[in-house]
A and B are shown apart, each in its own frame.
Chain A
């Protein structure tokens, strides 16, 4: 009498290899990705050679090419709204770092007064966001 054995079920080690690969990809994307709130408009920061690494934290002020404003992804109506929002943020966090992420084609009359206004409000740490690369 001959009994056919049921074909053995595929072993679970193949699944372990898949889990390994997926886990590596997961860690890769967690390390690489930035979870910053993006502006509701297009912002291409200027290119510079002499920038230094940007630490995390702080508030990000985005300035569009036409002078549109957004603080941490929330659009702002104008400099007055920015002053109000910054005042609210500075209350619990007096050492707030303000990152000015201005579009490379934004005119300075839209950008520099904001830096001055932020300093007048008490922000002592203002940085300009740039992209590393050769200056055009």
Chain B
């Protein structure tokens, strides 16, 4: 039995090893998993370009003005009556049904929270107000 050698068939080698690629992909995966945040964010315009100087002013006859005062406790007051979100939307919708182009002016107290202002802007948007202004507080914080 001298000279019997068994040759194993040579296995075809892959051209490029996949292991480094898997390593890189796993590192990328962990990176994106760690750096991801799952906040779903929207936006509300606070300064519209259309309100810039040069926008055509609307005639005084076709529009009125509705002022919503936002108290320090965050309760909006429309025409002397304090009302919450749904009531404010209904009241504003009633006003806007008569004068669709009425300008809604929000006069917020400096002590009210951002959520209170956003809620009022939300109610105005749901009532169909197209012209909404927030009176800015100029005092330094």
- Across the interface, do B47 and A125 meet the contact criterion of CB distance under 8 Å? yes
In chain A, positions 34-84 with a C-beta closer than 8 Å to chain B are: 34-36, 38, 45-54, 63, 67, 79
A90 at the binding interface (Cβ < 8 Å)? no
Query: How far, in angstroms, from A23 to B25 measured CA to CA in the complex?
Result: 7
CB-contact partner of B85 in A123, A132, A135, under 8 A: A135
Task: Return 6 A-B CB contacts under 8 Å, by A number.
Answer: A22-B22, A34-B41, A48-B122, A101-B41, A113-B136, A128-B43
User: Once bound together, how far apart are the Cα atoms of A32 and B37, in whole Å?
Assistant: 8
A85 CB–B CB distance under 8 Å = no
CB of A93 closer than 8 Å to a CB of B = no
B115 touches A47 (CB 8 A): yes
Q: Which are the 5 A-B pairs with shortest beta-carbon distances?
A: A51-B42, A33-B36, A109-B110, A29-B32, A50-B125
Interface residues of A (CB under 8 A from B): 3, 6, 9, 12, 15-16, 18-19, 22-23, 25-26, 29-30, 32-36, 38, 45-54, 63, 67, 79, 99-113, 115-116, 118-119, 123-132, 135-136
CA distance A106 to B126 in the complex (A): 24
Name the residue among A3, A23, A45, A135 with the largest chain B CB count within 10 angstroms.
A135
B79 at the interface (CB under 8 A from A): no
Instruction: Tell me which of B6-14, B60-68, B92-100 binds A.
Output: B6-14
Main secondary structure of the interface of B (DSSP, over half): mixed
Q: How many residues does chain B have at the interface if contact means C-beta atoms less than 8 Å apart?
A: 54
Residues on B with beta carbons closer than 8 Å to the beta carbon of A115: 46-47, 136
- Closest chain B CB from A58 CB (angstroms): 10
Contact with A along B92-117 (1 / 0, CB 8 A): 00000000000000001111111111
Interface status of B18 (Cβ within 8 A of chain A): yes
A128 pairs with B29, CB closer than 8 A:
no
Docked-complex contact A29 and B121, CB < 8 angstroms: no
Closest A residue, CB atoms, query B47: A126
Q: Is the CB of A106 within 8 A of B121?
A: no
CB distance from A73 to the nearest CB of B (A): 13
Residue of B nearest to A127 (CB): B43
